[in-house]
Chains A and B, each alone.
Chain A
Amino acid sequence: MNVFARMAAPVAALVAAGLTATACAPSTSDNEAKKDDQSGTLCVWLFQEVDNDPKKKVVDQAVADFRGKHKDVDVDVTYIPINTRAEKIKAAFNDPESAPDLIEYGNTDTAGYVQDGGLADISEEFASWPQSKDTDATAKESLTVKGKTYGSPLFVGVRALYYRTDVFKDLGLKPPTTQEELVNTAEKIRAEPKDLYGLAVGGAYTYGAMPFLWSNGGELATEKDGTYRSTIDSAQSQAGIKAYTALFGDQNCPANKCAEMGGNNTVETFASGKAGMAIAGNFNHPAIEASKVKGKYAVVPLPGKKAGEIAPAFAGGNNIGLLKSSSHRTLGLALMQSLTSKKTQGALFDAMGFLPTYTDVRKEAAAREPFAEPFVKTLDVAKFVPASPGWAAIDAVLVLPTMFQQIVSGRKDVDAAANEARKKMDAAFTEAG
């Protein structure tokens, strides 16, 4: 006791001294641009792809085009690793002094970055660009927050149904044209003694599950006056959730293995030859092409409820944004225009297989490369997630994977799990404002 009594005074004094010395709120940075320089160096951060050289060549050309018009401006392009991009970009927002002028960012991050005060509103300039009228609606939606535009789309990515042509041939199967056929086909493949999964699905594969939700008429959330309310527990959404979760089980993809799989795991499962079908993106093509199923697969759009319908898929992709703190607004926008031009996007498709965001360029691309066709078709009906900063939080605390896993593992029924998910989503939307 005595020891404590004797220590109390000095400790208190020390704490008090600490308080007076440092009595300040935690740091907050100022991201307002102070000027609009017409010369100097433009700094750009782009994502480092697994095989980055082809991308670099396309970008170098776009930069050269820009410098043709702006001779005395330097451009410094840095490729940042995708795994740590969130930290890098947050750090850029926190420290405007060492932040770049332009960044590439994933389109689900738009609303969050806008709320963080990191991205500049470029609505007027974007609308005035001659090429921007051909930008497809979903890509535009992915950079619009509360009616304002925060960047220019670079490419889109979408998922479709990959299937094993050899397995289908052996079993006399045809690519499914409805959701019901998809389920039947999956079960037939599983029933064969080859120990294959029918359709590889994952409890943590949110974007693989979305087409089922959307094709059943469900929605993640609806917007009213700029605020989102979750509709994950509506009758239609629940029908979609039921359709997806019914794929887990010994008849297709055993729950004890598939419940914990995410998107990458299902793609790996397909690539390692352990599944008859999988839902994977055009961006997964290189990995599957490099695997042992090369030459033994084909792709069709994921079928919807009725024959001839395509299940709406999530339109992922990346945008180029101008940082609010940039001191080169005019030049930055000129470079952004060059980096996301029709010419650049066409070249990027040829080099990397990334789908262009301009509808006309995309059509031409699909004509050049038949592989792109099912993805381009799917993009006509693709959808986007809620443009709310709350979505990032919902994604981060795994609301939807938790819901699917609760159902798949038999902990909760569809209604109870969807209800819980709705509450969590609404809380996140409210918090995000």
Chain B
Amino acid sequence: MSAVAKGGRRGGLGASRWTPWLYLAPALIVLAALLVYPIYQLGLISFLEYTQAQVSGGEPATFQGFANYTELFSDRQFWEVLVATLVFAAVCVLSTLVVGCGLAVLLTRIRAVSRLALMLAALGAWATQAITGSTVLVFLFDPDFGPVNKMLVWVGLSGFEDFSWTYDRYSAFALVLFEVVWCSFPLVMVTVYAGIKAIPGEVLEAASLDGASNWRVWRSVMAPMLRPILVVVTIQPIIWDFKVFTQIYVMTNGGGIAGQNLVLNVYAYQKAFASSQYSLGSAIGIVMLLILLAVTLIYLRLLRRQGEEL
């Protein structure tokens, strides 16, 4: 590609260098308006003192340099929340992928009726609003009235009579994880299933003729061929799960007991909107943006290094 650029195009018309940009212009202008401008405003606000008083003209907006960032980085709670968010998002992404891919493979192995049932169930989960799913789950796991505890007691497990799922930090996160995976696995499942269906049957047949196990077929045949699809279905959950808000906000009453289940987005909401410190909220937004960009770029980079064009 670079050889062509260096050798072939230099001699051509000057305009041709700009031709691709000309075609791209409409899309780029729309993108700039919808993306660059808000991010620019977000960045700008993060360098100002900008609270409700400044918005409604009670006080003038003043330039603060990196003061908002210094305040943020010196807040011990921010680091705790950041670590919790990263770990929680990582677990969510992995679980979503495992469940999604597992069920996609299962879909290719079962009969039409069961496949239809599984598809419908997944689509139902997909179509359900996060807020609805969260509310229902909180009800199901309610310590006083929830059927889940009753069932666990009924099958003979002790200690679940009065067990509150949201009291302990990890059981609360586990409950939220369950809801996050539940509403994001269908995308992975459906996409990967479509990908598997597109793999030529003779390749899979050849693998099984060679005596490959199910795991081996997945590892050495399906996964490499599904690579571009897997990239997409991994990046999506990374972005979603890093930004999870509704589930935490609804299921743990805005961050759990003594803030034990706070994630960055809920933390930013508390700072930015509930207490009207828009500038600090913007600083959190910028930090989140940079982290997400970095994670995504590193991930793409690692994949490229493994040798294939995406």
- Known interface pairs A15-B36, A90-B276, A257-B164. Does A31 touch B58 (Cβ–Cβ under 8 Å)? yes
B257→A26 contact, CB < 8 A: no
B253→A260 contact, CB < 8 A: yes
Cα A22 to Cα B253 with chains together (Å) = 40
Contacts of A22 in B (CB 8 A): 37, 40
Residue of B nearest to A114 (CB): B58
Q: A259 within 8 Å of B by Cβ?
A: yes
B56→A398 contact, CB < 8 A: no
Q: Which of B21, B143, B253, B275 has the most CB of A within 10 A?
A: B275
Cα A214 to Cα B76 with chains together (Å) = 31
Contacts of A32 in B (CB 8 A): 57
Residue of B nearest to A87 (CB): B273
Residue of B nearest to A5 (CB): B2
A115→B53 contact, CB < 8 A: yes
B56→A94 contact, CB < 8 A: yes
B58→A116 contact, CB < 8 A: yes
Q: B270 within 8 Å of A by Cβ?
A: yes
Q: A411 within 8 Å of B by Cβ?
A: yes
Residue of B nearest to A14 (CB): B32
Contact partner of A396 (CB less than 8 A), chosen from B21, B143, B270, is B270
Contacts of B54 in A (CB 8 A): 28
- Known interface pairs A90-B52, A112-B52, A257-B164. Does A14 touch B257 (Cβ–Cβ under 8 Å)? no
Q: B263 within 8 Å of A by Cβ?
A: no
Cα A25 to Cα B56 with chains together (Å) = 14
A117→B56 contact, CB < 8 A: yes
Contacts of B259 in A (CB 8 A): 398, 402
- Interface residues in A381-402 by Cβ distance below 8 A to B read 389, 392-393, 396-398, 401-402
B52→A397 contact, CB < 8 A: no
Q: A406 within 8 Å of B by Cβ?
A: yes
Taken residue by residue from 50 to 76, chain B's Cβ proximity to chain A (1 for < 8 Å, 0 otherwise) reads as 101111111111000000000000000
Cα A428 to Cα B21 with chains together (Å) = 50
- Known interface pairs A257-B162, A396-B275. Does A117 touch B255 (Cβ–Cβ under 8 Å)? no
Contacts of B277 in A (CB 8 A): 393, 431
A19→B162 contact, CB < 8 A: no
Question: Which of B41-49, B118-126, B202-210 is the interface stretch?
Answer: B41-49
Cα A248 to Cα B113 with chains together (Å) = 52
- Known interface pairs A31-B56, A397-B270. Does A25 touch B257 (Cβ–Cβ under 8 Å)? no
Q: B198 within 8 Å of A by Cβ?
A: no
Q: A203 within 8 Å of B by Cβ?
A: yes
CB distance from A264 to the nearest CB of B (A): 11
Contacts of A25 in B (CB 8 A): 44, 48, 61
B275→A115 contact, CB < 8 A: no
A409→B58 contact, CB < 8 A: no
Cα A26 to Cα B1 with chains together (Å) = 43
- Known interface pairs A22-B40, A26-B50, A260-B167. Does A117 touch B257 (Cβ–Cβ under 8 Å)? no
Residue of A nearest to B28 (CB): A14
Residue of B nearest to A261 (CB): B253
CB distance from B173 to the nearest CB of A (A): 14
- Interface residues in A91-137 by Cβ distance below 8 A to B read 93-94, 112, 115-118
Residue of A nearest to B54 (CB): A28
Contacts of A112 in B (CB 8 A): 52, 276
Contacts of A274 in B (CB 8 A): 144
B258→A409 contact, CB < 8 A: yes
- Interface residues in A16-33 by Cβ distance below 8 A to B read 18-19, 22, 25-32
A115→B58 contact, CB < 8 A: yes
- Interface residues in A27-41 by Cβ distance below 8 A to B read 27-32
A409→B167 contact, CB < 8 A: yes
Residue of A nearest to B143 (CB): A257
B162→A256 contact, CB < 8 A: yes
- Interface residues in B145-186 by Cβ distance below 8 A to A read 162-164, 166-167
Cα A90 to Cα B55 with chains together (Å) = 9
Contacts of A14 in B (CB 8 A): 28, 32, 36
A117→B53 contact, CB < 8 A: yes
Contacts of A256 in B (CB 8 A): 143, 162-164, 167
Residue of B nearest to A397 (CB): B270
Contacts of B60 in A (CB 8 A): 28
B52→A27 contact, CB < 8 A: no
Contacts of B55 in A (CB 8 A): 26-29, 90, 93-94, 116
Residue of A nearest to B271 (CB): A397
Cα A27 to Cα B60 with chains together (Å) = 11
B61→A19 contact, CB < 8 A: no
CB distance from B288 to the nearest CB of A (A): 18
Cα A216 to Cα B45 with chains together (Å) = 44
Contacts of B45 in A (CB 8 A): 26
Q: B254 within 8 Å of A by Cβ?
A: yes
Q: A249 within 8 Å of B by Cβ?
A: no
Cα A22 to Cα B277 with chains together (Å) = 23
Residue of B nearest to A15 (CB): B36
Known: A28-B55, A115-B52, A402-B258. 15 other contacts (CB 8 A): A2-B2, A2-B5, A25-B44, A26-B48, A27-B55, A28-B54, A28-B56, A29-B56, A31-B57, A115-B53, A257-B143, A260-B252, A396-B275, A397-B271, A398-B255
* Between-chain CB contacts (< 8 Å), 22 pairs: A10-B21, A14-B28, A14-B32, A18-B37, A22-B37, A26-B44, A26-B61, A28-B54, A28-B57, A29-B55, A31-B58, A90-B55, A93-B56, A115-B52, A116-B52, A257-B167, A260-B257, A262-B253, A392-B276, A396-B274, A405-B258, A409-B167
Report which A residues bind B (CB closer than 8 A): 2, 6, 10, 14-15, 18-19, 22, 25-32, 90, 93-94, 112, 115-118, 203-204, 254-257, 259-260, 262, 274, 389, 392-393, 396-398, 401-402, 405-406, 409, 411, 428, 431
